[in-house]
Amino acid sequence: MWINPYLFVADEVADSIAAMKPVVALESTIIAHGMPYPQNVETALKVEQVIRFNGAVPATIAIMDGKLKVGITMDEIESLGHRGLSVIKASRRDLSVLLSRGCTGATTVSATMIGAASAGIHVFVTGGIGGIHRGAETTMDISADLEELAHTKMVVVCAGVKSILDIGLTIEFLETKGVPIIGYQTDDMPAFYTRSSGFKVDYRLDSAEDIAHAFITHQLLGLAGSLLITNPIPEAFSLPPDHINHVIDEAIIECNKRGVKGKNVTPFLLSKVKELTRGESLEANIGLVMGNAVLGAKIAVSICDQA
């Protein structure tokens, strides 16, 4: 279904939204930039299956040939995964130009949220959100994800802030912007590869139903911005904090030596961390995304049940 010349919503997704059935949005940067081929495609398809198994409809979002598509096909997922880093990484600032020029792009958290909100989707599942990079006091490297969280109304399920970032500063930024950080069955802020960062969340909620109720209240109050739900990585995939932090420090040193900047920093660091952990970080990434998909689907179902 065409919403406008640039926004296309897949029939299944559009029909589910119209019928007030649960839908979960998914990003595509994790496919093109977050994991190597073929694990990226395998993970993307499995995440969609997990969401369906838990009662919701998946809507993977990407820019395909100048169209912001909410719900892409298996072939399109395969294409993004196979092309990998050659696909443009699309954030909020990139949308207008990429769409007007007929480009293809993998949507980040911020761009995915824009597409999801435009289609009427309330729940978005990702791996980890972007944030304030280490050393941002001199580089001013701050992810557009944070501003999007501040003004786009949505439930965003993640495994916390990516460990490669400055978690403390990111939390402070979100507090300033009025974005509540809600721990799912935890008082501790997860750190992507590990279950705790040493920081505390704002609130703890122990069920998908409680999260759904909080979001409905958020809507009724007319408040802007998202509820950020932090879901700790499953124990089986969690990496030792000292080990992963040492690896991240090494990766950042290498990143600085090579002069990697801007939107290339995160893909470089994730790839370097994977190399230094001999693939352990990739397994952790896959495990946490699956856990987030289960929770996101349950929240979406509960929102529909309570609406």
Both tokens of residue 117? 């909100």
Both tokens of residue 114? 């824009």
Look at residue 253 in the predicted model and tell me its pLDDT: 85
Residues 6+ apart with CB under 8 A from 156: 109, 113, 124, 126, 129, 149, 226, 227, 228, 229
Catalytic residue check, 162 = yes
The overall average pLDDT reported for the chain is: 93
Mean pLDDT on 205-228: 97
Look at residue 266 in the predicted model and tell me its pLDDT: 73
Catalytic residue check, 27 = yes
Catalytic residue among 69, 162, 263, 272: 162
Looking at per-residue confidence, does 252 or 127 come out higher? 127
- Tens digit of pLDDT for each residue in 44-79? 999 999 999 999 999 999 999 999 999 999 999 999
Query: Does the global pTM surpass 0.85?
Result: yes
Q: With left for phi above 0 and alpha for psi between -120 and 50, is residue 83 left, alpha or beta?
A: alpha
As a whole number of angstroms, the distance between CA 304 and CA 37 comes to: 35
Look at residue 2 in the predicted model and tell me its pLDDT: 66
Domains belonging to the chain, first-starting first, are 2-238+289-306 (3.40.1790.10)
Catalytic residue among 27, 48, 76, 280: 27
Q: Are 162 and 130 in contact (CB under 8 A)?
A: yes
The secondary structure element, H or E, covering residue 183 is: strand 181-184
